[in-house]
Structure 1
Amino acid sequence: MFWKVAISLALLASPIAAQDKAFSLQAPDTLVQTGFLKHLLPRFSLKTGVRITVTEGAGDAALGAEGMPVFAQGETVWHFTSPGGEDMDAFQDWLLSEVGKRTIEAFAPDGTPLFSADVGRVQAVETTQITGNVVRGEAVSLSQCGRCHVVNETNRMNAIGSTPSFALMRTFPDWQERFETFFMLRPHPAFTQVTGITEPFPENLPSPIAPIEVSWEDIEAIGAYVGSITPADLGKPIQLQ
């Protein structure tokens, strides 16, 4: 009877497993030890829902000396190879996109970028599409972000004056990436939980304040809302005589 139950459970679980968006990525230890992949891969996964597991042995795809050049580390150019497939193709396209390039060059643990997206080739620039529910984004922004940031006129008198408003942050060239990864940027990790993405707070180190709890759909909605607002008018630059 037990083996029949086990087989039944396995059959029921199979369709779910088949729907998983994931692949393994072979990477040499010299690259892993830089910490770069811990910076790069979660940002791709958060955007696409594709989970990448790094392995030193054989993987579904690989970073190495052959294939499509995707980023450089000093004079070393790292290449990406894969047999193809929706998830692996999406990762390659993301690495070559404008957002991917900015993410690559944002890795600067000591203040100096260690990797470059300039690998000596002309790549087609991918335009990032903003998705998400604008109405939901406004509601989530007010309820979860409004205790610190001025979201709009609704909470102008209830926010903290020392934090930038949404309209001001909308003027930043990388505003979209900032809003998509805000929970990784200080001080947010100390009090932000993203369903199914961030690890729970350690029991001995609980959040110092009431935590913000959002889903990835909430984050997409916030981005859609911010994309719909008018950037703050900062006036003309000061002209030095």
Structure 2
Amino acid sequence: MVRVLALLVALIGSPLHAQEAQVAVPDALATSGLVDHLLPRFSLKTGLRLRPGDASPVARFGDAGAPVIAGPDRVWALEVLAPEGERFAAWLRSDVGKRTIAGFGDGQFSAATDVRKAKAETRVTGDVDKGARLAMDLCGRCHVIDDTNRMKGLGSTPSFEVLRTLPNWQGRFEAFYALAPHGAFTQVKDVTPPFDPRHPPPIVPLEMTLDDLEAIAAFAGTLPPADLGAPLQSR
């Protein structure tokens, strides 16, 4: 009887350690604070304790893998490296995970599970002619689209041809509404939430559908990437 009681005391007195694993997080994402917001909430739901680390990560944020987070200035993918990483990826794709992402900060981040991973040579489907018209009407307010409005864009915004030089250009076009500063004045039907009445859009809002967005991306895919010249050589 004494031995049984001693065993029970030992079991009760021994803390139960939750399973722990690491997720590799680039500095650019880590400094945003989003991952510190996500990991404790994932652990609370699943019992799997995740923390940032590169020693032996079960998943890695970056360019490889499936897109999971958009904003404020790029789309982040998650590369699954172990079964525990797949659990984290599945949670990010779930409704709870999406709401957790969107609930961080001032809403500068959103889920990007429906954004296809961009590659420079990826074929984009959509109505190119319609996209050309929409790009000029909607995006031409700030961006140089092509020679038609070559001298009318804002100097602080990249032209469509400059954007085409980026390796993830397609993802940036397809998720542009989640990238700063577009979220403050863009409404995509059945995708973006209504504007917060406390923070009205600073300019006349851009309003479009997913078909419109696909058409603009298809048009952008027909533009030649800008020739930015060779990198500077130091001597």
Q: TM-score range by the shorter chain?
A: 0.5 to 0.7
Q: Structure 2: which amino acid aligns with 1:35?
A: L
- Of 206, 215, 218, the residue aligned with 1:221 is 215
Q: Matches of 1:215 and 1:232 in 2, distance apart?
A: 28
Aligned to 1:170: 164
- Of 58, 71, 77, the residue aligned with 1:77 is 58
Q: Give the conservation status (yes or no) of the 8 Å contact 1:73–1:116.
A: no
Q: Give the conservation status (yes or no) of the 8 Å contact 2:63–2:78.
A: no
Q: Matches of 1:107 and 1:192 in 2, distance apart?
A: 15
- Of 176, 184, 190, the residue aligned with 1:182 is 176
In structure 2, do the counterparts of structure 1 residues 192 and 116 end up closer, same or farther at CA, with 3 Å as the change threshold?
A: closer
Return the offset for 1:157: 2.3
Q: Give the conservation status (yes or no) of the 8 Å contact 2:118–2:168.
A: no
Q: Structure 1: which amino acid aligns with 2:38?
A: G
| TM-score (normalised: structure 1) | 0.53
Aligned to 2:38: 35
Return the offset for 1:99: 7.4
Q: Structure 1: which amino acid aligns with 2:191?
A: I
Q: Per-residue displacement from partner, 1:111-153 (whole Å, max 9, x unpaired)?
A: xx8x851628xxxx99854111111111110010000000011
1:103 partner SS? strand
Q: Matches of 2:222 and 2:151 in 1, distance apart?
A: 22
How high is the sequence identity, in percent, across the aligned residues?
41
In our comparison, the structure showing a higher alpha carbon Rg is 2
Q: Matches of 1:118 and 1:200 in 2, distance apart?
A: 33
- Indicate yes or no: 2:197 matched with 1:203: yes
Q: Give the conservation status (yes or no) of the 8 Å contact 1:146–1:155.
A: yes
Aligned to 1:117: 79
In structure 2, do the counterparts of structure 1 residues 155 and 108 end up closer, same or farther at CA, with 3 Å as the change threshold?
A: closer
2:65 partner SS? helix
Aligned to 2:65: 101
- Of 142, 145, 153, the residue aligned with 1:159 is 153
2:166 partner SS? coil
In structure 2, do the counterparts of structure 1 residues 172 and 213 end up closer, same or farther at CA, with 3 Å as the change threshold?
A: same
Aligned to 1:194: 188
Q: Structure 2: which amino acid aligns with 1:159?
A: G
In structure 2, do the counterparts of structure 1 residues 215 and 73 end up closer, same or farther at CA, with 3 Å as the change threshold?
A: farther
- Indicate yes or no: 2:127 matched with 1:133: yes
Superposed CA RMSD: 4.2
In structure 2, do the counterparts of structure 1 residues 126 and 197 end up closer, same or farther at CA, with 3 Å as the change threshold?
A: closer
In structure 2, do the counterparts of structure 1 residues 33 and 237 end up closer, same or farther at CA, with 3 Å as the change threshold?
A: closer
Q: Matches of 1:189 and 1:126 in 2, distance apart?
A: 20
Q: Matches of 1:191 and 1:108 in 2, distance apart?
A: 15
Superposed counterparts of 1:50-65, under 5 Å: none
